[in-house]
Amino acid sequence: MHRDKAFAAAGFLANWGVHLKVRVFYHDKCFDGASSAAIFSRFYRERIREDAEFVFSGLVHRAGSLFDESHFDGDENAIVDFKYSPSPKITWWFDHHLSAFLSPEDAAHFERDQSNRKFYDPDFKSCTSFIAMIAQQRFGFDPAPLADLVHWTDVIDAALYADAKTAVEMQAPAMKLTMVIESAPDRFVPNLIPLLATKSLTEILEEPFVAPLLPPLLRRHELSIEILRQRTECVDGTIFFDVSDQDLEGYNKFVPYYLHPESIYSVGLSKSSFRVKVSVGSNPWAPEEPVVNLAKICERYGGGGHARVGAISFNVNQHAAAIKASREIVNELRAAVRSG
């Protein structure tokens, strides 16, 4: 899949009619997803049309259809940090996940696209940094005011922490904000995105609608560490845990590696109101290099992700199927470690 497509600059900054509505779909409950929507909207306002009206809509991976065509109601519709939609109503798309396409037909549709507004590169650590690069190189956007945001999305999305202790202690403002985003009420992130585009992360944490959410989440984080301490088991370099009976879908994904530094992979089962989730990850500080492509494993069950981290979503009434899949993946990863 090629890195990007040539941008035809002439006449692009069109003089459109007033009150252009731009609906931006982003990966919900995700720091990179929210940041991608923020940098896209700032880029669009500065380089495409300054008086556009933005509406932000979160998307989540779930069993069944990911998109509702009736929601693509903007004059322009953008998807960032999420899977590809071949809908003619989608005018912008940016993603960096290995599992970006739901089918070979969608991948072929992207390859045929000549709009110069859809971009894909799985080599980027975060979608935010990918958008920053494309917007700068192809559209003349200056991402410098958002350098801190870009830096932290790379750190968080690619797990570039010095060690598990740093990842779990949550000291940096970006990490605290990530915890809030992953656990926040439905309308929180759409209200947050415009601030991510204009304010520092420290300033955002002090906002009246943000600050009160943090203390209870930090307490919940401490509780989750204790629950995971009881629930995780590590055999043949692979952790397994099931917290689907707990309100813990937004747990810190690095806690298992903090508890089991000898691990290479982890498989976890969690549950929310709309899905049972199988999370498959690899220890960024593993004693041996992870070699299994986790995105490929997750794709076999209808999920996806990156080579080092992926997930699968099942309907809430498919708990047994989720348990079966998680056990099969655990056995496969443990066998890979033994044979390595």
Q: Tell me the pLDDT tens digit for each residue of 157-186.
A: 998 999 999 999 999 999 999 999 988 887
The closest alpha carbon to 268, from 233, 299, 292, 242, belongs to 242
Contacts by residues 296-302 (CB-CB < 8 Å, ≥ 24 positions apart): 297/329, 297/332, 298/99, 299/99, 301/325, 301/329, 302/63
The closest alpha carbon to 78, from 65, 92, 66, belongs to 92
pLDDT of residue 62: 78
For tokens 């089991």, the residue is: 260
Domain locations along the chain: 21-205, 231-339
CATH architecture of the domain 21-205 equals: Alpha-Beta Complex (3.90)
Q: Do domains 21-205 and 231-339 have the same CATH topology?
A: no
Q: How many residues does this entry show for the chain?
A: 340
Class of domain 231-339: alpha beta
CA–CA separation, 58 and 187 (whole Å): 9
> Residue 263 in 3-state DSSP?
coil
pLDDT of residue 15: 44
pLDDT of residue 186: 79
Q: What pTM, to 2 d.p., does this model score?
A: 0.81
Where the chain has pLDDT below 50, the residues are 1-17
